[in-house]
Amino acid sequence: MITLALSKGRIFDETLPLLASAGIAVLDDPETSRKLILPCNREGLRVVLVRASDVPTYVQFGGADIGVAGKDVLIEHGGEGLYQPLDLRIARCRMGVAVPAGFDYASAVRQGARLRVATKYTAIAREFFARKGVHVDLVKLYGSMELAPLTGMADAIVDLISTGSTLRANQLVEVEQIMDISSQLIVNQAALRLKQAPLRQLIEVFAQATAARSAAAA
Ligand X SMILES: O=P(O)(O)OC[C@H]1O[C@H](OP(=O)(O)OP(=O)(O)O)[C@H](O)[C@@H]1O
Ligand Y SMILES: Nc1ncnc2c1ncn2[C@@H]1O[C@H](COP(=O)(O)OP(=O)(O)OP(=O)(O)O)[C@@H](O)[C@H]1O
Binding site for ligand X (CB under 6 A): 143, 159-166
Nearer to ligand Y, 91 or 191 (CB): 91
SS3 content of the chain, % helix, strand, coil (to 5): 35, 30, 35
Q: 80, 107, 71: which is closest to 182 by C-alpha? A: 71
Q: How far apart (Å, rounded) are the C-alpha atoms in residues 191 and 214?
A: 29
- Binding-site partner at residue 165 among ligand Y, ligand X, none, CB < 5 to 8 Å by type: ligand X
Nearer to ligand X, 9 or 17 (CB): 9
- Binding-site partner at residue 213 among ligand Y, ligand X, none, CB < 5 to 8 Å by type: none
Give yes or no for a contact between 187 and 65, defined as CB atoms under 8 angstroms apart.
Answer: yes
Q: How far apart (Å, rounded) are the C-alpha atoms in residues 29 and 204?
A: 25
- Binding-site partner at residue 159 among ligand X, ligand Y, none, CB < 5 to 8 Å by type: ligand X
- Binding-site partner at residue 164 among ligand Y, ligand X, none, CB < 5 to 8 Å by type: ligand X
For ligand Y, the binding residues (CB under 6 A) are 7, 9-11, 51-53, 70, 72-73, 91-93, 160, 162, 181, 183
Q: Is 140 helix (H, G, I), strand (E, B) or coil?
A: strand
Nearer to ligand X, 19 or 52 (CB): 52
Nearer to ligand X, 161 or 191 (CB): 161
Q: 120, 117, 113: which is closest to 137 by C-alpha? A: 117
Q: How far apart (Å, rounded) are the C-alpha atoms in residues 82 and 52?
A: 16
Rounded to a whole number of angstroms, the minimum distance from the CB of residue 123 to ligand X is: 16
Q: 58, 173, 61, 139: which is closest to 69 by C-alpha? A: 58
Nearer to ligand Y, 74 or 117 (CB): 74
- Binding-site partner at residue 21 among ligand Y, ligand X, none, CB < 5 to 8 Å by type: none
What CA–CA distances, in Å, run from 132 to 17, 56, 127, 169, 216?
A: 40, 28, 9, 28, 39
Residue sitting closest to ligand Y (CB): 70
Rounded to a whole number of angstroms, the minimum distance from the CB of residue 96 to ligand Y is: 12
Rounded to a whole number of angstroms, the minimum distance from the CB of residue 169 to ligand Y is: 13
Nearer to ligand X, 84 or 166 (CB): 166
Q: How far apart (Å, rounded) are the C-alpha atoms in residues 214 and 89?
A: 9
- Binding-site partner at residue 126 among ligand Y, ligand X, none, CB < 5 to 8 Å by type: none
